[in-house]
Amino acid sequence: MKNYSTRKGDLAKMRLRKSPAKSIPIETSREIVALTKELGISLDLESVRKVISLGMESLNQEAELEYALKKLEEEKGRIASNFRKIAFQYSQLEAKCVGTRNWFGRVSRDNRVLAMHLCARVPRGKREEQLRDDLIQKYIMNWRSAQNQQDNKGDTNEIGLE
């Protein structure tokens, strides 16, 4: 019968002896914890190696970097505030553009229906005939050819009267 407990103990000792890693407590360095959270990185063996190498290669001192970070955060605040202002301005203009475009689309659709009704009517006089032909051309014929062009292109714009 095998003695499993002894074998298990031996393996644990072997792992301990061969363990390539050493633990360092960082309770006192809240900044490290905060920075890793902010950067969204976990400090595994490989990351720690890379971060240490980066820290050793850095030409700047801790205080210089902290000052630069403070300045960058301030700059970010200014840029973000400007971005919000511009984005608000853009959203208002875009809403106006979409509103006008939709209104034009609705009126054009109404006009198309009216032009279709007009097709069934006989004009009185040359002037009326000209007006009638122009409007039918614009709201039915041109619209159809624009639709065909869009179908060929795979475009979904329904206005087609520009």
Partner 1 sequence: MNAADERSSTHEIKILRDLYEEMGSEEKIIRSIKVGLLSLRATSLERENADLIKRTGDLEKYIAELPHEIARFQQLLEKALKDRKTLEKLLDKKR
Kindly identify the residues of this chain, within the stretch 64-103, that bind partner 1 according to CB under 8 A. 65-66, 68-69, 72-73, 75-76, 79-80, 82-83, 86-87, 89-90, 93-94, 96-97, 100-101, 103
- Asked whether position 16 contacts partner 1 by CB under 8 A, the answer is no
Contact between residue 105 and residue 159 where contact means Cβ atoms under 8 Å apart: yes
Stretch that binds partner 1, among 4-12, 108-116, 141-149, 150-158 (CB under 8 A): 108-116
- How far separated are the first and last CA of the chain, in Å rounded? 92
Residue placing its CB nearer to partner 1 in the complex, 12 or 39: 39
- Asked whether position 14 contacts partner 1 by CB under 8 A, the answer is no
Residue among 55, 149, 151, 157 that touches partner 1 (CB under 8 A): 55
Torsion (CA) 159, 154, 95, 81 in degrees, nearest 10: -160
Report residue 129 as tokens.
């005939």
Alpha-carbon gap, residue 90 to 84, rounded angstroms = 10
Residue placing its CB nearer to partner 1 in the complex, 1 or 59: 59
- Asked whether position 56 contacts partner 1 by CB under 8 A, the answer is yes
Alpha-carbon gap, residue 73 to 64, rounded angstroms = 14
- Asked whether position 49 contacts partner 1 by CB under 8 A, the answer is yes
Helices (H), 40-61: 45-57
- Asked whether position 153 contacts partner 1 by CB under 8 A, the answer is no
Stretch that binds partner 1, among 6-14, 109-117, 143-151 (CB under 8 A): 109-117
DSSP string, 91-102: HHHHHHHHHHHH
